[in-house]
């Protein structure tokens, strides 16, 4: 798994939380979509799932999801945001996101979303 969020404290907090989940290994963190894509181009092991903020500088979550869908179709994206508009969530799923979490989600909701996305990644034929 990889994490992309422009807020360092939030990103580090996510990493600490995810480190408590036995089935999750965080391979790396990125501060925005551009950094995430650069890391993916150079990392020997790619994550199955990316947990990514919607609003980031340089490349936001929506733009990055589109690029990931084209360049790395096996990677599953979970968008995390404070916005809960149903139209936005549906739009993100249409663009290729495999999950959506609010920033006030519980740790168990996050674990469930990651498992669902990872399971989809493991059973996908793309």
Query: What pTM was estimated for this model as a whole?
Result: 0.90
- Quick: pLDDT tens for 64-105: 999 999 999 999 999 999 998 989 889 899 999 999 999 999
Q: What is the end-to-end Cα distance of the chain in Å, rounded?
A: 18
pLDDT computed for residue 120 by the predictor: 62
Residue 21 burial by Cβ neighbours in a 10 Å radius (0-12, 13-18, 19+):
middle
User: Three-state DSSP class for 10?
Assistant: helix
pLDDT computed for residue 110 by the predictor: 94
Structure tokens belonging to residue 69: 């869908």
pLDDT computed for residue 121 by the predictor: 53
């Amino acid at each position: 798994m990889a994490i992309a969020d422009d807020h360092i404290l939030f990103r580090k907090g996510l990493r600490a939380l995810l480190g408590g989940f036995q089935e999750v290994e965080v391979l790396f963190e990125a501060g925005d979509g551009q950094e995430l894509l650069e890391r993916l181009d150079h990392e020997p092991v790619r994550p199955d799932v990316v947990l990514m903020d919607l609003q980031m500088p340089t490349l936001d979550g929506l733009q990055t999801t589109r690029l990931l869908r084209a360049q790395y179709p096996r990677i599953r994206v979970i968008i995390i945001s404070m916005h809960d508009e149903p139209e936005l969530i549906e739009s993100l799923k249409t663009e290729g996101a495999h999950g959506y979490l609010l920033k006030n989600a519980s740790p168990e909701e996050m674990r469930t979303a990651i498992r669902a996305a990872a399971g989809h990644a493991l059973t996908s034929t793309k």
